[in-house]
Structure 1
Amino acid sequence: MTGYQIRELRITDYEALLALWQSTPGMGLSEADSRENLAVFLSRNAGLSFVALVGEEIIGTILCGHDGRRGFLYHLAVQKPQQGRGIGRSLVKHSLAGLKAAGITKCHLFVIADNSQGMSFWEHIGFKQRTDIHIFSRNL
């Protein structure tokens, strides 16, 4: 018995998601994380983002989407007291299975440069840090 459940993330979860994200060290938030923007993201990427729950309490999240060619993971977060139980790995597994079912064969993610715990987690579950590319961004 795992003691937690995983289900698809819903826009009605927004307030709980935001509270978890705001309390998670290394989490980068922006206007892209508004309720309205998240609703659009979820509608375009149905069946790819998940929450972990104990009872009705959200203890973990992952956002996942794709552009038709590559998948992207965002906002993997697990409450501090719940970490180390495989919840993050399970959330990732659910999202990657959804990407694979959609025909996506490669997935990228972003980690804030000083988030050593996040980098360690991703390396531990088989992701490799790329040193051959750089990320460029521009606000529109």
Structure 2
Amino acid sequence: MAELAFRLGRQDEQDLLRKLIIDSFEPITWFKQLDSQFGPLNGCDWRTRWNQRLDAVFASQIILVGEAGGEVVAAATGTYDPRTRLGFVDLLAVALPHQGRGYGRGMLRGMIAHLRGLGAEYAHLECLSDNDRGNALYRSEGWQPVASSIKWFTRIGRPEAEAAPPAAASSDR
């Protein structure tokens, strides 16, 4: 496995990290699958929605980057709850040109070490059931599946406030 050097992400590299994460998730994101079935949501395509998600991630989560040869090649994000001593690995991404070199495994281990350093005794993450590479990685690292879920979606129409008012009842008699 290739060696990574870990450090916290910096605000000035958010654009680089956005590209790395979005490019890495493009083949597997359910946001893209949603667009193929329903189209962009109110004009917001899957990339726009991912950028909104990353706005929240960068504002509230731990951002850990992995460097090889001085270049950022991987990133992981997550949170830590000191009350339960539970760490959550939210995003794990490897830059496309660097995939297949063990950086995903290294980044996962780096994030777990970081969470452990904060006091975590437990960690959890979520992975789509059709993400075969991700699920194989987590199984091989000793993670145990505890539950699964299905993403459901439907179009519910426009909010009532925007809908046309009902026709007035006739009082002509």
Same fold (TM over 0.5): yes
Q: Which residue of 2 aligns with 1:26?
A: 28
Give identity over the alignment, percent: 24
Residue pair 1:11, 1:38 contacting (<8 A) in 2 also: no
Offset of 1:27 from its aligned partner? 4.3
The one-letter code of the counterpart of 2:112 is L
SS at match of 1:23: helix
Offset of 1:64 from its aligned partner? 2.1
| Distance in 2, Cα, partners of 1:135 & 1:107 | 21
Over aligned residues, Cα RMSD in angstroms? Answer: 2.7
Offset of 1:62 from its aligned partner? 0.5
Q: Does 1:7 align with 2:7?
A: yes
The one-letter code of the counterpart of 2:10 is R
Listed as ranges, the gaps of 5+ residues in structure 1 are none
Residue pair 1:26, 1:115 contacting (<8 A) in 2 also: yes
Residue pair 1:52, 1:61 contacting (<8 A) in 2 also: yes
Q: Which residue of 2 aligns with 1:53?
A: 67
SS at match of 1:53: strand
Pair 123,30 (structure 1): closer, same or farther in 2 beyond 3 Å: farther
Q: Does 1:87 align with 2:107?
A: no
Larger Rg: 2
| 1:91-135: CA deviation from partner (whole Å, max 9, x where unpaired) | 22222122222222110101123211111111111111113x759
Residue pair 1:27, 1:75 contacting (<8 A) in 2 also: no
Q: Which residue of 1 aligns with 2:125?
A: 109
SS at match of 1:61: strand
| Distance in 2, Cα, partners of 1:64 & 1:14 | 15
Offset of 1:79 from its aligned partner? 2.3
| Distance in 2, Cα, partners of 1:3 & 1:94 | 11
| 1:22-43: CA deviation from partner (whole Å, max 9, x where unpaired) | 2122246363311xx234324x
SS at match of 1:130: coil
Q: Aligned residue pairs: how many?
A: 128
The two structures have a TM-score, normalised by structure 1, of 0.73
Residue pair 2:65, 2:72 contacting (<8 A) in 1 also: yes
| Distance in 2, Cα, partners of 1:78 & 1:27 | 14
Listed as ranges, the gaps of 5+ residues in structure 2 are 31-49, 152-173
Q: Does 1:121 align with 2:137?
A: yes
| Distance in 2, Cα, partners of 1:54 & 1:97 | 18
